[in-house]
Structure 1
Amino acid sequence: MTRRHPQEFTVPVAGGDLAVLHWPADDPTAPTVLALHGITANGLAWGEVAEQLAGRVTLVAPDLRGRAASRSVAAPYGLARHADDAAAVLDHLGLADAVVAGHSMGAWVAALTAVRHPGRVRRVVLVDGAVSFPLPEGVTEDDALAAVLGPALSRLGQEFPSREAYRDFWRAHPAFGEDLWTARLDAHLQRDLVGHEPELRSSCVAEAVHIDGGQVLLDAEAAGAIRKLPCPAALLWAERGLLDQPQGMYDADRLTAAALDPATVTTVAAPGTNHYTVLLGERGARTVADLILAEPPGATRI
């Protein structure tokens, strides 16, 4: 399969210029899909999905403020701010509306974008995110973030002597296997680094991660967005968790208990994937691409 390389441009937003990656469609008249990454990721997290889309749509994926090439975009942070930044990207591209996809934290942002900017989002594709559950009694926000994100969070306070050392860090992550490792995955992870050897570190602004993570766990507006969607949604859930544990963030019973409106939200299982591989692995990315391209009942085919 031919590797597709993104272009890059910036979009002025409150507090700075948002970096946006752009995989153009083979047909310049093809529609555009806006894709939003997870809490400590960056726009290149969508590289494998872009490969699977194979030029059938234009895919644009910003580095959300406080990450990668958008790390200098100023606070305030928060999921509503990211949603407003997403709408600014649509404005910059001259798009009246678009399909919006989001992974993990980006799924909450995608749902919020649809709710905060009605009419701008034609459909949302939510990848292992957007459904919130109350924290267990006695569990603090910081404890929950550390337990859920594990190594992805702990790396924010670390320095790495080389890019190879950073690769080794991720190769040791329980959700990442050697069969997952591709040039696209490596590019995504390396985009996160700032500084110079032997003092490399993650680009993620700790304040942004803490605020955004707290809102994923506790913010009522973010939690309620999936129940207020003004457009159709597909929710793809991974079988396994963030650390590749057998219990994923969601399962059929949890989603049934969440009582989502079946007229609005269609849930789809992704067997054999974990929270990361559902987006970054070839099998998961192919399913995400299929959902992006899918034609919901009564909709115009994209």
Structure 2
Amino acid sequence: MTTRTPQELTVPVRGGDLAVTRWRGEGPAVIALHGITGNGLFFAAAAEKLGEVDVYAPDLRGRAHSAGLPGPYGIPAHVEDVLALLDHLGLRQALLVGHSLGAFIAAVAAARHPDRFPRMVLVDGGLGFPVPGGADIDEVIEAVIGPAMRRLKTTFPDRDAYHNLFREHPSLAAHWGPYVQAYVDRDLVGEPPAMRSSCVLDAIRADGAGPLGDPEALAAIHQPQVRGTLLWAERGVMNEPQGLYDEGRLAASDLAPDRITTRRIDDTNHYTIALADNATTAIAEAVHAELKQM
């Protein structure tokens, strides 16, 4: 397998420029959308498995090199940015790949613009479960991504201290290496002794509410024009045995099997489903299968 050197480009969007990492290929275009506190380099390992596929992975508005883009944030804003990226590339269509929050963005984009995004690969996300009536959305967000939110409010004395946070993360410890380090370094801003995550807290709050309570985000995957594959992790965000999905939850969701194919990726958690060798192979297989349907 030949290593592809990632390239950087910028795309004009509302309020400034969207930063995009590209792994150049001669094949069809894929736009890869990361999770809520991530950045485009999350897909570096998967991009290497995709061969000649032309991969574009933006840093979502409010993160990493796109942190300077202003609000309003939220899933509709990201859909607009993805559409602007497609237009900037001069492409009629692209396959969407989305992880976690990025999967919800992909599903909403496909529901709104099925002629531009006819197929997608969702990676441990995109299928939501409504918050029970009366629940406080802020409390639910804290319960789901509390550790990540606390990281965003913390300053670190130097780069090594930030690295150690991820080296010790129960979901990432076994996969620390060049890909994860580059992904972590892209997020880190500031100077010692007050380095911090690039993520804008208002963006994280706005985006986190979407998969939990926004009717459009919850309904998107069920729309008849939305088609693709959902890959789901065996374990959860903190490597706990219960993942975001399981056979029972998927059965109860009433997904249409003629539109959405589901597949469990064994021995993965919410993060390693895009990092582990068996997982990146599965993503590549799903991408190539979906491209054949376009």
Tell me the TM-score normalised to structure 1 length.
0.93
**Residue 5 of structure 1: how far off its partner (Å):** 2.2
- Structure 1 unaligned blocks of 5 or more: none
- Structure 2 unaligned blocks of 5 or more: none
Letter of the 1:209 partner, please give it: I
**Residue 231 of structure 1: how far off its partner (Å):** 4.2
Instruction: Determine if contact 1:111/1:229 at 8 Å carries over to the other structure.
Output: no
Once the two structures are overlaid, the 10-residue window that deviates more, 105-114 or 287-296, is 287-296
The alpha-carbon distance between structure 1 residues 96 and 187, as it changes in their structure 2 partners (threshold 3 A), is: same
1:149-164 equivalences under 5 Å are 149-164=145-160
Indicate which of 33, 36, 48 corresponds to 1:36. Answer: 33
Letter of the 2:150 partner, please give it: S
Instruction: Determine if contact 1:193/1:201 at 8 Å carries over to the other structure.
Output: yes
Specify the alignment match of 1:268 in structure 2.
263
- State the SS of the aligned residue for 2:9: strand
CA distance in 1, matches of 2:145, 2:5: 29
Letter of the 2:293 partner, please give it: A
Specify the alignment match of 2:180 in structure 1.
185
Residue deviations 1:94-152 (CA, integer Å, cap 9, x gap): 11001111000000000111112230012110001111112246642222222222322
- Give yes or no for the alignment of 1:94 onto 2:104: no
The alpha-carbon distance between structure 1 residues 120 and 199, as it changes in their structure 2 partners (threshold 3 A), is: same
Letter of the 2:141 partner, please give it: L
Specify the alignment match of 2:207 in structure 1.
212
- State the SS of the aligned residue for 2:190: strand
1:93-112 equivalences under 5 Å are 93-112=89-108
CA distance in 1, matches of 2:46, 2:62: 23
Indicate which of 85, 92, 106 corresponds to 2:81. Answer: 85
1:122-137 equivalences under 5 Å are 122-136=118-132
- State the SS of the aligned residue for 1:122: coil
CA distance in 2, matches of 1:173, 1:165: 13
Question: Identity rate of aligned residues, in percent?
Answer: 49
**Residue 262 of structure 1: how far off its partner (Å):** 1.2
Specify the alignment match of 2:293 in structure 1.
299
- Give yes or no for the alignment of 1:120 onto 2:141: no
Instruction: Determine if contact 2:107/2:226 at 8 Å carries over to the other structure.
Output: no
Output the aligned Cα RMSD: 1.5
